[in-house]
Amino acid sequence: MKIRIPRPRQFGSSIRDLARKSPEEAEQYLDTHHEAWEQLTEDDPHNAADILEALDEGGAADLLQELGTNNAGEVLDEMHPEAAADVLEELETSEAAALISSMEVDQAADVVGALSPVDRTLLLAALDPAIADEIQALLIHGADTAGGMMTTDVAALPVDMSAGVAIEELRRLHDELGANLLYVYAVDGDHRLVGVVSFRDLVFAKPSAAIGDVIEPSLISVRPDTDREQVADLIHRYRLIAVPVVEADGTLVGMVKFSEAIEAIRAEAGEDIAVMVGAGDEETVFTPVLRSVRRRLPWIMFNLVVGLVIAGVISRFEATLTTYAVLAAYMPAVALLAGNSGAQSLAVIIRSMAIGDLPKGRSWRAIRREVAVGLIDGTIIASIAAVVAALTLGLFEGQTAAAIAPAELALVVFVSMWIAFLVAGFVGSGIPVLLSRIGQDPALGSNIFLTMTTDLVGFGGFLLTATLLLN
């Protein structure tokens, strides 16, 4: 196979697209073009990571073994942690340990954390003790906290160091920290954070001046247990490149970079979508099957119970359905439309919470707004649905059931749908607010609770309205 690339920079994208369409062809090409693969990993590790994620674990591991340790480590840095862990599990422990050692410590911790407990233990034992200690120090923090996101590679200089010596020290740290040399933090003798030093101020300061004379003492910092949403919000609000992480006593332990904050926002958005429908909060396409089953099954079982409850409610109106069988044709539309309206309210509220636009004091006002929107939408949609139901009655009405007048059907549809929209607006906006008040994730199963409510009101309310109005 021959691939013609118009420009060298397009090579990575072309192979990535090929890997996504035909993994076998891409793997075969890279296996027979080792120099091109190695050059790709040097020039474009992001696309190289995407390529490995598109291949099966065995093929990805083979390609990774063809690279030098540094190149392979850079590619692993860019891979999804669970995907990288799957690839490492295909390697010998000693090989995996060498690759982990070449990675950024914070990224390495994410990958090690995604390994199975047995593989994690073996890998940590094979690592250099200093590196293993750094990784374990990060693993004690939750992945959704500042401690789990931070890197410990930080430029921290004594507050009494002179500017001239500090500049020389930064030249040395540049080789050691690389892309992590974002800020220069000043610390006291106990490594407590004192302030941050501007590179500009440091360069223009007199060589004999102490760092303490040019620091900015007022700076934003977070604790290791600070939630990632709050970290991302601080970085966004104050336009920071990174935010320092300090212990309760002020000891500097690391920093969270802007790139990690962006990744946290993406992860949080994906997590909210997943938990809204009962999937695992950190589940991805790389999550092991059995783990996904364990996370999803309880919610599916809950849905089964809800389904049985709804079936029981409908059975209570057997006489109405027997007499007016045509109602069964219109009943699902009420639940469907109300569910859609409630889902819109749910999405607006959760999004507002995620970006900090819904403080506690505005919750009730936001709920009232969504109820008002639901009432207006409900009035319009219920009116249209009532007219359509009256006009199409003849298409669904059977010959054996009792006749129902078009006006009667229109009234049943209008009233039941209007009520369903009212309830959907209230529940769709109220569920995430309630979950937040009791200390739970606002997105946790919200869509499932909403569907349960709108189905009960949609089906049960429709039949109850019909029973009251037609009998």
Q: What is the pLDDT of residues 213-237, one digit of tens each?
A: 888 876 788 999 888 878 888 888 8
Return the closest-CA partner of residue 70 out of 46, 115, 91, 100.
100
* Amino acid 420: pLDDT: 92
Return the closest-CA partner of residue 247 out of 220, 221, 208, 217.
221
* Amino acid 6: pLDDT: 42
Return the closest-CA partner of residue 303 out of 456, 449, 462, 441.
449
Give the domain CATH number at 210.
3.10.580.10
* Amino acid 165: pLDDT: 87
* Amino acid 400: pLDDT: 43
* Average pLDDT of the residues in 141-156: 84
- Determine, yes or no, domain membership for 86: yes
Residue 281 has pLDDT above 60, yes or no: no
Q: Tell me which of 17-31, 178-192, 292-306, 393-407 is least confident.
A: 393-407
Higher pLDDT, 336 or 229: 336
Spatial distance between the Cα atoms of 149 and 241, rounded to a whole number of angstroms = 14
Return the closest-CA partner of residue 420 out of 375, 370, 470, 384.
375
- Determine, yes or no, domain membership for 423: yes
- Determine, yes or no, domain membership for 398: yes
- Determine, yes or no, domain membership for 147: no
Spatial distance between the Cα atoms of 117 and 384, rounded to a whole number of angstroms = 58
DSSP 3-state of 214: coil
Q: In this structure, are 349 and 404 located in the same domain?
A: yes
Over its C-alpha atoms, the chain yields an Rg (Å, rounded) of: 30
Residue with tokens 């009791």: 438
Spatial distance between the Cα atoms of 56 and 243, rounded to a whole number of angstroms = 37
Mean of per-residue pLDDT scores for the chain: 82
* Average pLDDT of the residues in 181-190: 85
* Amino acid 423: pLDDT: 92
Give the domain CATH number at 336.
1.10.357.20
Q: In this structure, are 131 and 78 located in the same domain?
A: yes
- Determine, yes or no, domain membership for 267: no
* Amino acid 399: pLDDT: 46
Q: In this structure, are 128 and 234 located in the same domain?
A: no
Q: In this structure, are 184 and 296 located in the same domain?
A: no
Please identify, among 140, 167, 188, the residue that sits at the C-terminal boundary of a domain. 140
Residue 317 has which token pair? 């109106």
Spatial distance between the Cα atoms of 154 and 316, rounded to a whole number of angstroms = 67
- Determine, yes or no, domain membership for 81: yes
User: What would the pLDDT profile of 26-51 be if each residue is shown by its tens digit?
Assistant: 888 888 888 888 888 888 888 888 88
* Amino acid 381: pLDDT: 92
Q: In this structure, are 451 and 327 located in the same domain?
A: yes
80 within 8 A of 48, measured Cβ to Cβ: no
Strand ranges across the sheet with 155-158: 155-158, 184-187, 193-197, 215-216
Amino acid at 449: F
* Amino acid 376: pLDDT: 93
* Percent over 90 (pLDDT), the chain: 9
Residue 377 has which token pair? 């939408």
Q: In this structure, are 305 and 441 located in the same domain?
A: yes
Spatial distance between the Cα atoms of 142 and 281, rounded to a whole number of angstroms = 13
Give the domain CATH number at 128.
1.25.60.10
Higher pLDDT, 376 or 212: 376
- Determine, yes or no, domain membership for 109: yes
Q: In this structure, are 187 and 211 located in the same domain?
A: yes
Q: Tell me which of 95-99, 219-223, 278-282 is least confident.
A: 278-282
DSSP 3-state of 257: strand
Residue 22 has pLDDT above 70, yes or no: yes
Residues 6+ apart with CB under 8 A from 419: 457, 461, 465
Residue 172 has which token pair? 């040395």
* Average pLDDT of the residues in 53-82: 87
* Amino acid 277: pLDDT: 54
Residue 183 has which token pair? 């800020």
DSSP 3-state of 67: coil
Residue 76 has which token pair? 């692993």
Residue-wise DSSP of 385-444: HHHHHHHHHHHH--SSSPP--HHHHHHHHHHHHHHHHHHHHHHHHHHHHHHHHTTS-TTT
Q: In this structure, are 444 and 296 located in the same domain?
A: yes
Show the domain range for 241. 155-257
Q: In this structure, are 315 and 224 located in the same domain?
A: no
Res. 284 pLDDT band, cuts 50 70 90? low
Residue with tokens 């480590």: 73
Spatial distance between the Cα atoms of 279 and 296, rounded to a whole number of angstroms = 5
Q: In this structure, are 297 and 442 located in the same domain?
A: yes
* Amino acid 292: pLDDT: 75
Total of domains in the chain: 3
Residue 179 has which token pair? 């892309």
Q: In this structure, are 224 and 343 located in the same domain?
A: no
Q: In this structure, are 67 and 188 located in the same domain?
A: no
The residue ranges of DSSP E strands in 101-166, in sequence order, are 155-158
Please identify, among 91, 111, 140, the residue that sits at the C-terminal boundary of a domain. 140
Spatial distance between the Cα atoms of 357 and 373, rounded to a whole number of angstroms = 19
- Determine, yes or no, domain membership for 440: yes
